[in-house]
Amino acid sequence: EPEVTQTPSHQVTQMGQEVILRCVPISNHLYFYWYRQILGQKVEFLVSFYNNEISEKSEIFDDQFSVERPDGSNFTLKIRSTKLEDSAMYFCASSYSGRPDNEQFFGPGTRLTVL
């Protein structure tokens, strides 16, 4: 069964450094998403991406964040100048359609630890 994959599973970085989190969505999916879950808290929407541009973003997704689909398979989240409060689990998701009743398939997550 096709699945969303994410690398690395755990990333440790120093405050102020830049990190890139990588995702490989399901191959025929067209819509891509990033969500964040601070430890023990709710899952929060960050951004959605379609046709090489951002389709929607939350208040959390400020200039510190950017997304990119650098090739036909990867979907990346870049966090510049990381802060302690960026420590969280980051989930990538993809869906075939952008309709809200279309299931978003989630990856296993990348745990980011900022020291």
Partner 1 sequence: AQKVTQAQTEISVVEKEDVTLDCVYETRDTTYYLFWYKQPPSGELVFLIRRNSFDEQNEISGRYSWNFQKSTSSFNFTITASQVVDSAVYFCALNTGGFKTIFGAGTRLFVKA
Binding-site ranges for partner 1 (CB under 8 A): 31, 33, 35, 41-45, 48, 55-56, 58, 89, 91, 98, 100-101, 103-109, 111
| 25/109 with CB nearer partner 1 | 109
| Beta partners for residue 53, in sequence order | 50
CB atoms within 10 A of CB 40: 5
Nearest to 109 by CA among 1, 2, 3, 5: 5
Nearer to partner 1 by Cβ, of 45 and 96: the residue is 45
Amino acid at 32: F
Least distance in angstroms from the C-beta of 87 to partner 1:
15
CB of 27 to partner 1, least distance (A): 19
- For 49, the enclosing helix (H) or strand (E) is strand 43-50
d(CA 9, CA 6): 7
Judged by beta carbon, residue 41 or residue 73, the one nearer partner 1 is 41
Task: Give the nearest distance from C-beta 107 to partner 1 in angstroms.
Answer: 7
